[in-house]
Chain A
Amino acid sequence: MKALQAPHLKLWWVLIPLLVGTLFLSLSVGAYPLSLYKVADILKRVMFQGPQADIDASVLLSIRLPRVLFGAIAGAGLALGGVCMQTLFRNPLAEPGLMGLSSGAALAAATVSIFASQVPSLLANPFALPFAAFAGGLGITALVYRVSNQGGQLRVDAMLLMGIAMNALCGALIGLLLVIADDAQLRNITFWSFGSLGRADMKSTFVLACIMLFPIWGIWRQREAMNVLLMGEADAANMGVRVERLKFYLVTLSCLMVGLVVAMAGLIGFVGLVIPHIARLLFGVSHQTLVPASVLLGAMFLPLMDMLCRTAVAPAELPIGMMTSLMGAPFFIFLLLRKRAL
């Protein structure tokens, strides 16, 4: 039971300084030149002299800082969402997209993008699309959950199949919408389906941070039950874990986290798959370490990827979802190959 003790000391000692370093580095790297020294200087001046008026401070505080913080929180949420799904399915290749969350959100976003032009008040409302995406993702996931919940028992295999069917259906409907979309709508949908942290501002970052705290805290509290669940549902039930309640928890909380990020920043793939794996490789499978390690690594990974997006083709920018998949997909293939070798 040693694994169930407090997280490895080395986890905190290694990851927290790394996270702080990554965030500072992300703050100083981008199309607009800001050295680390300048970043520190501006932060110092803001702290001691109040709001700063020069353009450097404006770029740092109203463009880059929200982006980096939003990326860190979103990365943590996406990674932890992946942990929940992998524990729920007891399969290391699971991720929230499996239950139709991403495709449901994408379908809702595409629908709003296209039909908003009929309803001018919708078009003008900046919350319409994020809200629709959130509702769409949650709606499809709830449907998948409801259908696979038979006689008060959640059948994980049925959920997987139902998720695949829903993904196919949503994909087809999105294809249909793309045919009738005009140029600007098409661009809007593609923009959204590859994700971007560029729209983050302090307000949205604050909202994301406030909401995200609850699921992270909730999952941390379930860490020991999740460890037991890995042994199998029957064994877990014998050991006193309320399995059905735990499964409901995991689905709801991971959907809340991932749905929120998808709604605010678009589809960002592969974070939920890759980060928990790295965390397991580095710190072991116990949720005692897996949960904090995934949160911290996710919070490092996404700002780092966003930094690449900002600089690769500067002063233009790449979509973040493309970058995470570009880096994540080869890793996924590596995992598959390694699995076959074992």
Chain B
Amino acid sequence: MLGMYNRRMTKQLQYIICVFLSVPFMGFSDGIVSLGSPVTEIIVALGADERLAGIDDSSAFSKALSKLPQVGYYRMVSAEGVLSVQPSLIISSEDAGPPEALKKIKDSGVPVIQVPADKSLEGTVRRIRAVGEALGAGEAAEQLLKPIEMRLENPLKALDPAPKVLFIYARGGGASNVSGNGTGAHEMIQLAGAKNAVEGFRGYRPLTPEALVASQPDVLLMTRQGLDAIGGEKSLWSLPGMQNTPAGKNSRIVVMDEVLLLGFGPRVVDAMDQLRAELTEE
């Protein structure tokens, strides 16, 4: 037990020296591994991207980031893979896993800081604050938080009549899903003052022609990556059942960047405003 205690102490000491002097010490670099794209986005927004030593697959949303070692999808990382980039700190979304791998990383003496993963404005505030604290950049984090806290105090008013928005999540190969309660898309649609066209179930369900017609969306919402995956707008409008919906008849679609729309990161207010603007324009 004493050995364990000593080991922890030594590790922490090394870590503190590393962070404050930014000097590689006994094989340690000041490298951060970020697990989960929302976390990575905050790290980049706080100007700490230079300190990243590795990211998960979902975080490779810019050219500079995709040059970093990628340790696999953040929900199924391997302990050894993460440790192989010699990190001094892991900042991980709470839903990263598997838990066994994270436990092994912690046991090896590298600190793992888990930050809230919930997709909501409040969640974003807590997430940014937690990442800022982990990086020792509390000031910068508060700056990022200002517009979000203002938005929390003055939320966007619901549109009247609220358009019914259907978010279609496509990954190619003909498999598309629609998002029900509890998803990031559902939350974002509501935050922008609109109504989710499919409610009454949690999570994602496959998109079927009948469900599409039954939901009668006024507007479709897709990520740019998703629209590319199903082959552009033309093949979207020719999906079975699409022409029997108001959105299909009027060809109304909002296309947004996936990280912006679903990430609930530092630009969450921009995402709300952009979606709101696109929904209200005629």
User: For residue A62, which residues in chain B have a CB less than 8 angstroms away from its CB?
Assistant: 104, 107-108
A146 at interface by CB-CB < 8 Å? no
Asked if A317 is at the interface (CB within 8 A of a chain B CB), the reply is yes
Q: Bits for B87-112, please: 1 = Cβ < 8 Å to A, else 0.
A: 00000000100101100100111100
Residue among B80, B82, B206 making CB contact with A310, cutoff 8 Å:
B80
In the complex, how many angstroms separate the beta carbon of B172 from the nearest chain A beta carbon?
Answer: 17
Complex interface: chain B residues within 8 A of A54 (CB): 27
Which of A31, A64, A187, A315 is the most central at the interface, judged by chain B CB atoms within 10 Å of its CB?
Answer: A315
Check if A47 is an interface residue, CB within 8 A of chain B.
no
Question: Known contacts A51-B3, A315-B70; is A184 also within 8 Å of B108 by CB?
Answer: no
Contact between A53 and B76 (Cβ–Cβ < 8 Å)? no
- Contact: A63 with B108, CB < 8 Å? yes
**Among A55, A64, A201, A313, contact of B110 (Cβ-Cβ < 8 Å):** A55
Interface residues on B, range: 35 or more
Q: Is B85 an interface residue (CB 8 A)?
A: yes
The answer to the question of A33 belonging to the interface, with a C-beta cut-off of 8 Å to chain B, is: yes
Interface size class of A (residues with CB under 8 A): 20 to 34
Given contacts A183-B204, A315-B69, A315-B70, contact A198 B78 (CB under 8 A): yes
Q: Chain B contacts of A182 at CB under 8 A?
A: 202-204
Q: Hey, what's the 0/1 contact readout for A65-80 against B, CB within 8 Å counting as 1?
A: 0000000000000000
**Shortest distance between the CB of B22 and any CB in chain A (Å):** 19
B residues less than 8 Å from A55 (CB atoms): 27, 83, 108-110
Say how far A317's CB is from chain B's closest CB, in angstroms.
Answer: 4
CA distance A185 to B110 in the complex (A): 28
Q: In the assembly, what is the distance between CA of A310 and CA of B101, in Å?
A: 14
Could you mark each residue 1-37 of chain B with 1 if its beta carbon is under 8 Å from any beta carbon of chain A, else 0? 0010011001000000000000000010000000000
| A179 / chain B contacts, CB cutoff of 8 Å | 206
Task: Give the residues in chain A near B107, CB-CB below 8 Å.
Answer: 58, 62
Question: Looking at the complex, which one of A53, A314, A315 makes contact with B10 (CB distance below 8 Å)?
Answer: A53
Residues of A within 8 A of B6 (CB): 53
* Complex CA–CA separation, A199 to B78 (angstroms): 9
Which of B75, B82, B98, B204 lies in contact with A315, CB distance below 8 A? B82
Using A55-B109, A62-B107 as known contacts, say yes or no to A191 and B76 having CB atoms under 8 A apart.
yes
Contacting residues, chain A, for B81 (C-beta < 8 A): 31-32, 310, 314-317
Q: Which residues of B contact A58 (CB under 8 A)?
A: 107-109
- Bound state CA distance, A187 and B108, in angstroms? 26
Choose from B70, B71, B73, B83 the contact partner of A63 (Cβ within 8 Å).
B83
> Restricting to B25-60, which residues have a CB under 8 Å from any CB of A?
27, 54, 57
A30 within 8 A of B: yes
- A315–B57 CB distance below 8 A: no
Determine if B79 is an interface residue (Cβ-Cβ < 8 Å).
Answer: yes
Question: Taking A64-B80, A182-B203 as contacts, is the C-beta distance between A59 and B108 under 8 angstroms?
Answer: yes
Interface core residue of B6, B75, B206 (most chain A CB under 10 Å): B75
User: What B residues does A187 contact at CB under 8 A?
Assistant: 75-76
Whether the pair A63, B79 counts as a contact (CB closer than 8 A) is yes
Tell me if B235 counts as interface (CB < 8 A to partner A). Answer: no
Given contacts A59-B80, A184-B95, contact A315 B72 (CB under 8 A): yes
Cα A313 to Cα B109 in complex, Å, equals 25
Interface centre among B10, B72, B79, B204 (most CB of A within 10 A): B79
Answer whether residue B84 sits at the interface, using C-beta atoms and an 8 A cutoff: yes
Question: Does B75 lie within 8 Å of A184, measured CB to CB?
Answer: yes
Least Cβ distance of B80 to chain A in Å? Answer: 5
Measured between alpha carbons, how far is A31 from B83 in the docked complex, in Å?
8
Task: Report yes or no: A63 in contact with B203, Cβ–Cβ below 8 A.
Answer: no
Task: Flag A109-127 by CB within 8 Å of B: 1 or 0 each.
Answer: 0000000000000000000
B78 in complex: contacting residue of A33, A184, A317, CB < 8 Å: A317
Return chain A residues, CB-CB under 8 Å to B85.
315
Inter-chain contacts of A64 with B (CB < 8 A): 80
Instruction: A201 to B100: give the CA distance in the assembly, Å.
Output: 9
Distance in angstroms between the alpha carbons of A51 and B3 in the assembled complex: 8
Chain B residues within an 8 Å CB radius of A152: none
Closest to A309 in B: B78
A59 touches B70 (CB 8 A): no
Given A199-B98, A201-B100, A316-B57, do A30 and B80 touch, yes or no (CB 8 Å)?
yes
How far apart are the CA atoms of A315 and B101 in the complex, in Å? Answer: 13
Contact A53 B3 (CB under 8 A): yes
Known: A50-B3, A55-B27, A59-B83. A316 touches B75 (CB 8 A): no
How long is the Cα–Cα vector from A53 to B7 in the complex, in angstroms? 6
User: How distant is B2 from chain A, measured CB to nearest CB, in Å?
Assistant: 10
B171 to chain A, nearest CB (A): 12
Q: List 27 A-B contacts (CB under 8 A).
A: A30-B84, A33-B84, A53-B7, A58-B107, A58-B109, A59-B108, A63-B83, A179-B206, A183-B203, A184-B75, A187-B75, A187-B76, A191-B76, A191-B98, A198-B79, A199-B100, A201-B100, A314-B84, A315-B54, A315-B69, A315-B78, A315-B85, A316-B71, A316-B72, A316-B73, A316-B81, A317-B78
Q: Give the B-binding residues of A (Cβ under 8 A).
A: 30-33, 50-51, 53-55, 58-59, 62-64, 179, 182-184, 187, 191, 198-199, 201, 310, 313-317
Which positions in B face A, CB cutoff 8 Å?
3, 6-7, 10, 27, 54, 57, 69-73, 75-85, 95, 98, 100-101, 104, 107-110, 202-204, 206
Further contacts, 18 of them, CB under 8 A, given A198-B100, A316-B81: A31-B78, A31-B81, A31-B84, A32-B81, A51-B3, A58-B107, A63-B80, A63-B108, A182-B203, A187-B76, A198-B78, A310-B78, A313-B72, A314-B81, A315-B71, A315-B81, A316-B57, A317-B81
